[in-house]
Structure 1
Amino acid sequence: MTARGEVAVTGLGLVTAAGHDAESVWKTMAAGRSLARKDPDLADLPVDIACSVPDFDPLSELGIRLAGRLDRFAHLALAAARRALTDAHLDMISLRPDRVAVVLGVGANSLQTYVKEFTRLGEGRARSVSPLGLPRSVPNIVAGEIAIDTGARGPNFTVSSACASGTTAIGVARDLLLSGACDIVLSGGSESARSRMSAASFAQMRALSTRTTHPELACRPFDTDRDGFVLGEGAAVLVLERPDHARARGAIVRGRLRGYGASADAHHPTAPHPEGAGAEQAIRQALVDAGCTPGDVGHINAHGTATRAGDAAEALALLRAFNGAPPAVTASKSVIGHALGAAGAIEAALTVLALERQEVPPTANLTQQDTGREMDIVTAHPRPVAMDLALSTSCGFGGQNAALVFATP
């Protein structure tokens, strides 16, 4: 098969529960232990555990004025974007800013600010509602703020496909580059899912793990004893470039994005298709788009949320798409929790790192898989794997599915 086209990955920026840079994130992921802990911000709620980004100070990262006008999901996005630009050795002064785009994935607006401002409104204090309530909360603010911060004047927007948002954004960014609309795209996703409203709502839906007395054992993707996901937060930004542009400026290519697929279950607002039909379709589309066969793929970073229905459906999709024998699988949310709209971007970055290191990080807390749905899931220790291609998958509410195929440089 022939690939439709590929783009170069020349920079990575990560701010996650596992660390604030690629090296520290990889080291923590390789340890294969969950980072879920009691979260003071969620105290007294039915589920009070989460995976938070440690030691992140927006004041020192961004300065008091910028940090003060933005919410946490934007803090994380800006920090990740700055790290990505540094990693790519990009100097915006030497570029054509109208040829630099920003495409970010965000699953929701900032519920922290909305809850606070709606409380004031509900108490009859309309004149106390902050004029920043809307601009600091709308999902597209992260893309706009990155443009303001960097001077990027090309296409600028966010995409929202629930927990597939980060993956979708990277796929759309690739399409922009292949169309010739720009030379560089800063793309990824950001989300802070640790709001009390999110925690309360997901708990009412029975989507969260209730292992609050042993949070380190809570998130168990693909395990028979799984009972839901753990809330997380974070951001990842990838610098994507047209290959000719990367070569012309002598950029170091960390990986190549070769394929993208997307689909809708058209089944249910929150539940996945029970047979994983939509996820399978997105995976197959990504493989065709990359010009490869299932046998060419050496590793899969699975969506793996640890919900009973979600994992069961995804396992079926992977088994069918890979003819009953998927390659080495990992589920990153077992370690860093579920960052919702940012999850796919974080996992895409981890997939690039896995290809660089020729190693698959382990899945935490997996002891036994569902009978008849067993896959080759890496546990306990990182596994060396010789591979040229790897796949990252995402699924979300509304039946959204997306998949990316990355290749070594």
Structure 2
Amino acid sequence: MCGSSIPLRLLLWIVGAAVSTTQGKVLGPANLTAEAGRPLLLGCNITTEPGDMVYQVRWLNKHHKLILAYEQGTSPHISHQDQNVQLTVSHHNASYITFTKVQAADSGCYHCIFDVYPKGTQQGLACFNIIGKVHFDGNKTAISGKPTTLSCWYSLPGRVRQVLWRKTAEQGDTTTVGSVAEGNHYKIEEQFKGQVSLSRTLGHTELTIKAVRMEDEACYTCEFHTYPDGTRAATTCLSVYVLPKPEVSQVTSPSGITEANCTAKSRPAAEIMWNVGSDNRTLGPPFSSAYEQGDGTTIVTSTLLFQSGLFSDLSIKCIVHHPGLNKPLLMSLNTNMGPAMVILISVCGVAAVLLLCLCVCLCKCFICTDENILAFMDCDIPNQPPRTTVAQLLLQGLTDKTCFLFKVKPNYFVICNFENEQKGGKIIECLYIKEVDHISLPLTF
């Protein structure tokens, strides 16, 4: 009657589809928050009635560009899929997709479109926004006297306007260490100058302590000032270790009992053990003592008692364990130096002293005699020629300070400076020379 080529049934289906679209039967999240660089699950649910059948689902981004499309069935048939999108759930009344790694450009509202028979197209919106997150390497341990670096980064570096580092001591006091901002602004607070440095990058920042001290043990906050995310911060704590430098000592009593001590100063306290070999013949187990110092370190001493003669062929070792060491420290205690060795060393020392005294006596009796005095001269005679022969020396007069020339062996001589005999003839000092055909004056002692 109307001459229309569109069947009445199809026209009613189109009108019904238009009405159902406006009824909002597809529901999605209004506003999710996702972290940049992390996966995100996004989905829509559709309310259907008996007889309704979903035969296709499409997902469009905020620019109305198709990112995923599939035909519904026992096993969904995907006709289009972007690289960063995966189909996670496909039911007759729900569709969920996963972004494998969201970026700042992915934020916005996405259209989930259900093609339903006989009602037609029904769609909804699923929205999310992206924020960044501060990442740290975690708590750190540093060795006293060594450099260390704390680093953190923001997952959306383009949004960072300023980076601020703060230090919170164990007592709770918080101080600003330094900052870096846009426009090449760089600042280190006065009390930290010369001790720390900051990298000049914004998205990834590093705080370097040049030589770690005990007072550097604290918690450090890396604070990013971003737009539009606002202030984002994270905190890491630094522990300071002082490595042990063990020392061993031993004392032997007259009864033959040796007391061996192994001492180590460190932070935290070291653990000391002893290795006495397979044949343990010590006088009981070792005992330890620990003394806390004002600088935060602890002195640990371990004492081992044993009969000296029993370990003459063994090497006793002190083993020091510390969490800052890659492997334990071993200090050997030389037990081979028994009483006999001590006596031998003492005898050798006495013999050396006696030999020295004998040499002095021989010199006085046979070498340093009057017949070996070849010449004498006044050490302070002015205007003497720069080179004087032995014969010329014999012509010089005597004064309070007189030099004697002693012949020690062929072509080797010693010139000694004497005080006048009236003052006791005391030797002041001597000069050992060789090949004295000529002697340069004045002599210098």
Give the TM-score normalised by the residue count of structure 2: 0.16
Per residue, is there more strand in 1 or in 2? Answer: 2
Per residue, is there more helix in 1 or in 2? Answer: 1
Point out which structure has higher relative CO (alpha carbons under 8 A, 6+ apart).
1
Name the larger-Rg structure: 2
Give the TM-score normalised by the residue count of structure 1: 0.17
